[in-house]
Chains A and B, each alone.
Chain A
Amino acid sequence: DAKTTQPTSMDCAEGRAANLPCNHSTISGNEYVYWYRQIHSQGPQYIIHGLKNNETNEMASLIITEDRKSSTLILPHATLRDTAVYYCIVRVATYNQGGKLIFGQGTELSVKP
């Protein structure tokens, strides 16, 4: 699985968009980009994933560059409850890989009033 690089920490004002970058320059053609977040002392929570097209769901949007070497997770209107560590993970989404995620250090996002 390819490695990812994320900033250690970021701040965002409440109500503004939070844009979290991730570099994955060694990503393979069959690897997806996944985002999880972990609020303090809770289990990680799935946010979104994508292969090469931009994706949007009720929680966030995922923008993947055309060369797939980087991506950005966008929380359109950050709230205080979005304060968490955000993990960007790349992995092959096949059945026998279902359980294994390689977490890095993640980005600690602080949403401030």
Chain B
Amino acid sequence: DAGVTQSPTHLIKTRGQQVTLRCSPKSGHDTVSWYQQALGQGPQFIFQYYEEEERQRGNFPDRFSGHQFPNYSSELNVNALLLGDSALYLCASSYLGELFFGEGSRLTVL
């Protein structure tokens, strides 16, 4: 049984560009959450998707948006990238219980 898978694992963008990160949840999980982890900090909650709708949102600007597909997979989109968006982006899936995290996508903005 595959766990949570994320792609790409690493990517480099320049300021002002847009990025899309992808996540496939653990089998049987219907809820996907996204987190941003800056270097040396704990993960920060961005938002949660369930039934293809955003259900909860953390303190992140509208440049951060997402989508959940009927197969429960999810995308995180970040527009107008800033240097400060450089971070590890983590996806977590859950079903009525503890969260399982993927290995993350490391985004570097130059």
**Chain A stretch 36-51: residues in CB contact (< 8 A) with chain B:** 41-46, 49
Residue pair A105, B41 in contact (C-beta under 8 Å): yes
Majority SS at the chain B contact face: strand
Majority SS at the chain A contact face: loop
Range class of the A interface residue count: 20 to 34
**A96 CA / B33 CA spacing, docked (Å):** 12
Query: A-contacting residues of B (Cβ < 8 Å)?
Result: 4, 31-33, 41-45, 47-50, 55-56, 58, 88, 90, 92, 94-104
Residue pair B90, A98 in contact (C-beta under 8 Å): no
In the complex, residue of chain B having the shortest beta-carbon distance to the beta carbon of A95: B96
A81 at the interface (CB under 8 A from B): no
**A98 CA / B97 CA spacing, docked (Å):** 7
A 47-87 binary contact with B (CB < 8 Å = 1; else 0): 00100000000000000000000000000000000000101
